[in-house]
Amino acid sequence: MQDPNVFAGAFVDRIGERRKDPDWLAAAAESRDSLFMPVWRHRCLVEAAARQPCLRFLTRAEVAEEPDSEWIFLGLYRDRPVFAFGARSSSEPYAALGAFEELRKLGMLLAPDQANLAAHARALVLWHESTLFCSACGTATRAVAGGNARRCSNPDCGKTHFPRVDPAIIVLVEHGDRCLLGRQAGWPEGRYSTIAGFAEPGESLEDAVRREVFEETNIHVGEVHYHSSQPWPFPSSLMLGFIAEGRSVDIRLNDAELEDARWFTREDLRSGFPKLPYHISIARRLVEHWLNA
Q: Is the pLDDT reported for residue 126 higher than 70?
A: yes
Give all domains of the chain, ordered by start, each with its CATH number: 16-130 (3.90.79), 166-291 (3.90.79.10)
Helices and strands in the chain, H and E counts: 6, 14
Nearest to 213 by CA among 176, 168, 177, 180: 180
Of 264, 258, 274, 277, the C-alpha closest to 213 is 258
Lowest mean pLDDT among 45-49, 105-109, 171-175, 182-186: 45-49
Mean pLDDT for 59-70 is 82
Residue 65 has a pLDDT of 76
Q: Is the CB of residue 131 less than 8 Å from the CB of residue 86?
A: no
What is the percent of the chain with per-residue pLDDT over 90, rounded to a whole number?
A: 91
pTM of this prediction? Answer: 0.93
Q: What is the pLDDT of residue 41?
A: 95
Residue 116 CA: distances (Å) to CA of 12, 97, 101, 241, 271 = 8, 22, 15, 18, 33
How far, in Å, CA of 145 to CA of 236, rounded? 19
- β-sheet bridge partners, residue 262: 181
